[in-house]
């Protein structure tokens, strides 16, 4: 039996992906429809891990687990435990590399399980601290939006270097989340946008400014249940994101299909160039129609997200 457990959900970026990297605000929601769990077992051997990428000694894990390996190391030092004698089992129904925050979620689940195993109280600040380290290793220079939203588990309005506030959401609508089935290339997308920004600041800066305006507007729409306006803002944000070249053919197709199936708005979510998209529906009946059309157009998976159910 395990002697420590931790779990974390994913996240959805509603508004502000990419512009958040340039100091603009973003809005993200916890994605409780999918979860990552981490369980700790005692052994008398080197540290071992069991996850989709690797089963066996942590020391021989592939490069994509480098961040997690470092994180486990740092946490064990903090907890004054030897790098020895535990087995870590990670399970997930949150697809990875789809802009749903699986890397931050796995880090948070692991940190929670290790603190639970060694019965040390884990504060929000300590959790944030460790997860930011892991995200730095994983993503080089992340805005911190994923880590904040997942560690906090609430709808957040977030600005880099400034911080977060919780949005008192009052929205009677359903989000349909669809996975294109294509791996999102967040790192590439972020570095391509940086190149564009460096070579054409006069074009990119106004786009970032407009995304900022839309995000600020959406915060008010969420607080006042202005569903139609939220939809329009989402679609406009998508067009702006496409204009900085972070969309792709599949995302374009799914956004198009969602709008033609009656969605009030639709956009890519997360880093783009693959990954997921979201569509806004007035009610569950419409959401089901939209999800069916998305699946017929090749979406690998769809989820329903009732915005009424977000705890704020």
Which one of residues 6, 67, 271, 274 is an interface residue with ligand PMV (CB under 6 A)? Answer: 271
Residue 148 binds ligand PMV (CB under 6 A):
no
Options 48, 113, 149, 186; binder of ligand PMV; rule CB under 6 A: 186
Q: Is 63 a catalytic residue?
A: no
b or e along 224-234 (b: 16 or more beta carbons within 10 Å of the residue's beta carbon)? Answer: eebbebbbbbb
Structure tokens that stand for 41 in this block = 């077992």
The stretch among 10-18, 76-84, 232-240, 297-305 that binds ligand PMV (CB under 6 A) is 10-18
CA gap 25, 245 in Å, rounded: 20
Please, what is the minimum distance in Å from the beta carbon of residue 193 to ligand PMV? 8
Residue 151 interacts with ligand PMV (CB under 6 A): yes or no: no
CA atoms of 139 and 66, how far apart (whole Å): 12
Under the binding rule (CB under 6 A), the answer on residue 179 touching ligand PMV is no
Catalytic residue among 2, 50, 63, 146: 146
Going by the DSSP 8-state scheme, the letter that residue 181 receives in this structure is S
**Residues comprising the chain, all counted:** 312
Tokens 């270097």 correspond to 161
If the CB atoms of residues 227 and 246 are measured against ligand PMV, the closer one turns out to be 246
Does residue 17 belong to the site contacting ligand PMV (CB under 6 A)? Answer: yes
- DSSP conformation class of 183: P
224 vs 239 by CB, closer to ligand PMV: 239
Strand boundaries in the chain, DSSP class E: 4-15, 26-42, 48-51, 54-57, 86-92, 156-159, 163-166, 174-179, 265-269, 276-281, 301-306
Touching ligand PMV, residues 223-262 (CB under 6 A): none
Stretch that binds ligand PMV, among 62-70, 113-121, 217-225, 269-277 (CB under 6 A): 269-277
- Can residue 149 be called a binding residue for ligand PMV (CB under 6 A)? no
Of the candidates 6, 25, 99, 265, which one interacts with ligand PMV according to CB under 6 A? 99
| CA angle (94 as vertex; 171, 232 as ends), nearest 5 | 30
User: Tokens in use for 267?
Assistant: 């956009």
Residues near ligand PMV (CB under 6 A) are: 13, 17-18, 20-21, 99, 101, 142-143, 145-146, 184, 186, 190, 270-271, 275
Catalytic (active-site) positions: 146
């Amino acid at each position: 039996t395990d002697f420590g457990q931790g779990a974390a959900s994913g996240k959805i970026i509603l508004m502000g992906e990419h512009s958040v990297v340039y100091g603009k605000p973003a809005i993200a929601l916890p994605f409780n429809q999918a979860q990552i769990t981490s369980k700790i077992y005692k052994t008398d051997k080197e540290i071992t891990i069991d996850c989709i990428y690797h089963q066996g000694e942590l020391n021989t894990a592939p490069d994509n687990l480098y961040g997690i390996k470092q994180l486990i190391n740092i946490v064990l030092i903090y907890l004054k435990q030897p790098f020895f004698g535990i087995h870590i089992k990670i399970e997930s129904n949150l697809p990875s590399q789809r802009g749903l925050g699986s890397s931050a979620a796995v880090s948070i689940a692991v940190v929670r399980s290790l603190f639970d195993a060694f019965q040390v109280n884990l504060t929000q600040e300590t959790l944030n601290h460790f997860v930011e380290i892991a995200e730095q290793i994983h993503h080089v220079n992340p805005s911190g939006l994923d880590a904040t939203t997942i560690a906090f588990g609430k709808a957040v309005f977030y600005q880099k270097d400034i911080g977060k506030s919780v949005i008192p959401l009052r929205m009677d609508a359903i989000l349909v989340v669809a996975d294109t089935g294509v791996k999102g290339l967040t790192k590439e997308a972020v570095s391509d946008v940086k190149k564009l920004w460096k070579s054409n600041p006069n074009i990119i800066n106004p786009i970032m400014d407009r995304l900022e305006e839309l995000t600020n507007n959406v915060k008010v729409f969420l607080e006042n249940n202005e569903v139609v306006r939220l939809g329009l803002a989402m679609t406009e944000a998508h067009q702006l994101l496409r204009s900085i070249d972070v969309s792709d053919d599949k995302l374009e197709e799914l956004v198009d299909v969602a709008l033609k199936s009656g969605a009030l708005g639709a956009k890519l979510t997360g880093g783009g160039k693959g990954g997921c998209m979201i569509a806004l529906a007035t009610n569950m009946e419409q959401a089901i129609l939209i999800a069916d059309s998305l699946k017929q157009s090749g979406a690998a998976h769809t989820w329903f997200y009732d915005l009424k159910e977000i705890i704020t």
